[in-house]
């Protein structure tokens, strides 16, 4: 369980860091400071990471609900 939690938190941290780079790159590009450092492949990869993280978060919530409330739903 501890290993799973650490992997989950590492994923959250990675997505958070990449999202921050994405946001600041967009802001810089919008203000004509520099071009966005994200090429389309990197942007798409970030989106895929976000989807996987969201699915994992939903799964964790369902597991916690079953554990805490004894919810029989899958």
Whether residue 72 lies inside any domain: the answer is no
Q: How far apart are CA 65 and CA 71, in angstroms?
A: 6
Model confidence at 74, in pLDDT bands (50, 70, 90)? low
Whether residue 60 lies inside any domain: the answer is yes
Whether residue 74 lies inside any domain: the answer is no
pLDDT of 73 above 60: no
Number of domains forming the structure of the chain: 1
Residue 38, classified by CB atoms within 10 Å of its CB into exposed (0-12), middle (13-18) or buried (19+), is middle
| In 1-74, alpha helices (H) | 2-30, 40-69
Number of Cβ within 10 Å of residue 48's Cβ equals: 10
pTM for the model: 0.79
Q: What is the pLDDT of residues 23-60, one digit of tens each?
A: 998 888 888 887 766 889 999 999 999 999 999 999 99
Name the residue range of residue 49's domain: 2-66
């Amino acid at each position: 369980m501890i290993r799973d939690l650490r992997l989950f938190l590492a994923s959250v941290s990675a997505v958070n860091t990449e999202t921050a780079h994405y946001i600041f790159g967009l802001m810089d590009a919008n203000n004509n400071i520099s071009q966005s450092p994200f090429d389309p492949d990197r942007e798409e990869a970030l989106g895929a990471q976000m989807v996987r993280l969201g699915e994992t978060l939903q799964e964790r919530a369902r597991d916690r609900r079953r554990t805490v409330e004894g919810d029989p739903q899958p």
